[in-house]
Amino acid sequence: MSITYKDAEGIQGMRVAGRLASEVLDYLTPHIKPGITTKEIDRLAAECMKKQGTISATLGYQPAGYPPYPASLCTSVNHVVCHGIPNDKPLKKGDIVNVDVTVIKDGWYGDTSRMFMVGEVSIAAKRLCALTFDAMWQGIMRVRPGIHLGDIGFAIQKFAESNGFSVVREFCGHGIGRNFHEEPQVLHYGKPGTLEELKPGMTFTIEPMINAGRKDVKEFGSDGWTIVTKDHSLSAQWEHTVLVTETGYEVLTLSAGSPPPPPFVNA
């Protein structure tokens, strides 16, 4: 599959899908507190999507070699790195959880995720969530025509590792448009000047998974989806979908409730 470049109509479709995906997270935000189950978060998201007229891209999603994914979103708690399946276990004070939402609207896909801190969390957990957010933006702010995907990965890796964290290698960002996963793959580590050159009209996700401990991950249990840190250390992830414009980038997954970019982005 080759890279698809979006025209004006495609870009507008992606803007709408991206905003709606982010608005699902806005809707969920006040509900994510001690005592709620991730299954209830999933139910609320499905309710919100129904009101929006969007459909979940994850429900029933089945890439080759995987069982069908059983929920409307992914909820990855504490040492779960990604693809955590919602369940009946209540969240407790001190947990951190990534909620990853992908919606489809008029054939276009919008994909975004945020970290949520449940009640009062440890200083270490707070720092991991904050620095992972900053790492994502370190990647986003590099986006413009003429740079290479390796420049984005390098910026994220350098920032994360200089703060004592590690970057997961097995999972990456991806092109997105009329398909959930398109070319190119967007690695969150790498060397400057390597991999594909960015051109206007490209749309892809930047979604670093950063571990407090070592970078190694493993599959958890037998559900075919859940990935955890091998050393049981905390993991965090943030995700935006971005468009390469003629002069730089546009973040497509922003809404009224999106956390604002860190100060260094506009500096």
List Cβ neighbours of 250 (8 Å cut-off, separation of 6 or more): 242, 243
> What digits encode the pLDDT tens for the residues 30-82?
999 999 999 999 999 999 999 999 999 999 999 999 999 999 999 999 999 99
CATH code for position 145: 3.90.230.10
Query: pLDDT band at residue 266, thresholds of 50, 70 and 90?
Result: confident
Is the residue at 3 inside a domain?
no
Is the residue at 2 inside a domain?
no
What does the block give as tokens for 160? 């994360």
Neighbours of 231 (CB within 10 A): 15
Q: How far apart are CA 11 and CA 202, in angstroms?
A: 9
Q: What is the mean pLDDT of residues 229-258?
A: 98
What's the mean pLDDT when you consider all of the chain?
97
Is the residue at 185 inside a domain?
yes
> Which run of H or of E encompasses 209?
strand 209-211
In which domain, by residue range, is 62 found?
8-266
Is the residue at 260 inside a domain?
yes
pLDDT at 1: 65
Is the residue at 32 inside a domain?
yes
Q: What is the mean pLDDT of residues 137-156?
A: 98
List Cβ neighbours of 42 (8 Å cut-off, separation of 6 or more): 71, 72, 73, 75, 86
3-state secondary structure of 131: helix
Is the residue at 1 inside a domain?
no
Is the residue at 207 inside a domain?
yes
- pTM confidence score: 0.97
Structural domain count, the chain: 1
What does the block give as tokens for 136? 């994502």
Q: What is the mean pLDDT of residues 5-16?
A: 98
Is the residue at 64 inside a domain?
yes
> What digits encode the pLDDT tens for the residues 184-233?
999 999 999 999 999 999 999 999 999 999 999 999 988 999 999 999 99
What does the block give as tokens for 103? 């919606």
Q: How far apart are CA 48 and CA 238, in angstroms?
A: 21
